[in-house]
Structure 1
Amino acid sequence: MSELFKDIGVCKNQEHQLINGGQELEGKLTAIYFSAHWCPPCRAFTPVLKEFYDQAKASGENFEIVFVSFDRSEGDLKNYLAESHGNWLYIPFGSSNISVLVKKYDVSGVPELIIVKSNGDIITRNGRAEVQSIGEGCYCKLEGKSLKEYLNAIGKIKGFFWEYLILVL
C-alpha cells in the first residue's frame, strides 16, 4: 500500500493526527472501506467490520483498513468514527484524495470494502461479503485455527486470490 498511499495523508481514528499513508501502510495488506454515516447498510456493517479488524489485530496480523468517507460534513464523519469504527485509518474530510480513490476504484455506492495489494491492484471487490460470510462474530468461531489457516481455507473455498494475503500476513 505504500505505493498507492505514498502522497496521501491519513489519520488514525483515535488520534486524529495527519500521518503519511505510505509509511503507515508499508508491508500491510489493506482494505479500503467506502462508507457513510447516513447509509443504513453502512451503519449495520461497520460494527461487523470493527469486530473483524479487532480480531485480526489481536492475532498480530499485518492488516489495516483505510476508511474513505462519503459523509456530508466533517461532524458526521467524526460522529461516525466515534460511534462504531475501529481504530483504523481514515482520509480526512474534504481531502481531494477521496475523489482520487473513488475514481480509481470506480466506486458508485456504499458500503464497499475493497482489498488491495501494496501497489493498489485489487485482490477482491467483495470484501464486505467476505467479512459477512465468515460467520457470526467474524473470526470468533475459529475453533482453534489461526487466522492465517482460516483465511487459507476461505481462499480455497471461495476461489479468491488469497495466496497473496497469506504471504503478506
Structure 2
Amino acid sequence: MVSLFTGKTLIVNNQDRDELDTERELIRVLENKVLLLFFGAGTCPRCQAFAPVLKEFFVRLTDEFYVERASQLILVYVSLDESEEEQDEFLRRMPKRWLLLPFQDELRRELALRFAVQNPPAVVVLEPNGEVIASNAVDEIRSLGPSCFKNWQEAAELVDRSFRLAEDFDNVAMRSFSDPIRRLKYKLDKKEAAGRENGEEEDGGALRLWDRLGKWGVCRKPRKIFG
C-alpha cells in the first residue's frame, strides 16, 4: 500500500498541515493498516449527508476515548472538490487524523480512474498490500457502523499489535488539560459499573477517582456527608 504513494506527499488534516513525504514516514503511518480512500466533495449533497456518518465511524475506531488502542485504520481523503477552498472548508469539520493528497496532485484523478469512482461519496477499502477489500463501503459503513472493521481486519490478515512503538508517541499532543482526567473517569466508570454487578459499593469507583485526582493535585477528595 505504501507503493501507492511512493514519491508523493500526504498531508495531515491538522492545524499545521504536517507533511509526510519520506518513505520512512509513509511506512510508519501506513504499514499493517487497513486503508480507506474516501472520494468526496464538500459541495456534493450526498457527501455532506455521509460525512458525519464516516466521521463518527472513524472516531469510534481511532479515538482512545472510545477504544483502549486505536484500530489499525488509516483514511486518506481524495478530494473531488472544484477548488482548494472548498476542500479546506469541508475538511475543517473532519477528524484531524485524516490524511489528504495535495490539491494540485494529479494522483487524485488517477486514483478515481483506477478505482472506477463515478458517483461520490465512495470509500474504497484496501489491504496493506493494496488489494481491494471493498470497492465502495459506503452502504456497509452506514448499516454496520464500526463493527464492519472486524471483517476488514480479518480479510486483510493484519498483525495485531498489542503494544505501541516509542515513535508512535512522537508529536502526540494532549487535547486539553483535562484529557487524562476524562480518560481515567471513562475507564473507572466502566469498572464501577462492573463492580455494581458484583455487589460492590456504588460510591467506591467515585472515591477511587477522587483519590487519584488528589494525587495529581487537581482537586481534593470530597468528604462523605451521609453515612
Q: Same fold (TM over 0.5)?
A: yes
Select the residue among 77, 83, 87 that pairs with 1:77. 87
State the 1:95 CA deviation: 0.8
Letter in 2 for 1:54: V
Letter in 1 for 2:10: V
In 2, the alpha carbon distance for the partners of 1:91 and 1:46 equals 18
TM-score, normalization by structure 1: 0.79
State the 1:37 CA deviation: 0.6
Higher relative contact order (CA 8 A, sep 6+): 1
Find out whether 1:50 has 2:45 as its counterpart. Answer: no
Letter in 1 for 2:125: I
What's the secondary structure of 2:158's corresponding residue?
helix
Pairs within 5 Å for 1:77-116: 77-83=87-93, 85-87=94-96, 88-116=98-126
State the 1:120 CA deviation: 2.0
In 1, the alpha carbon distance for the partners of 2:159 and 2:141 equals 18
| Paired residues of 1:10 and 1:18 also in contact (CA < 8 A) | yes
Tell me the number of residue pairs that the alignment of Structure 1 and Structure 2 aligns: 149
CA RMSD of aligned residues (A): 2.0
Pairs within 5 Å for 1:1-169: 1-14=1-14, 15-20=16-21, 22-23=26-27, 24-58=29-63, 59=67, 60-83=70-93, 85-87=94-96, 88-134=98-144, 138-139=145-146, 151-152=149-150, 155=151, 163-165=154-156, 167-168=158-159
Stretches of 4+ moved more than 4 A in 1? Answer: none
What's the secondary structure of 1:4's corresponding residue?
helix
In 2, the alpha carbon distance for the partners of 1:35 and 1:151 equals 20
What's the secondary structure of 2:35's corresponding residue?
strand
Q: Structure 1, residues 75-131: CA drift from partner, whole Å, max 9, x if none?
A: 111000003x22210111121111221121111121000100123221001311111
Structure 2, unaligned runs of 5 or more? 161-227
State the 1:17 CA deviation: 2.5
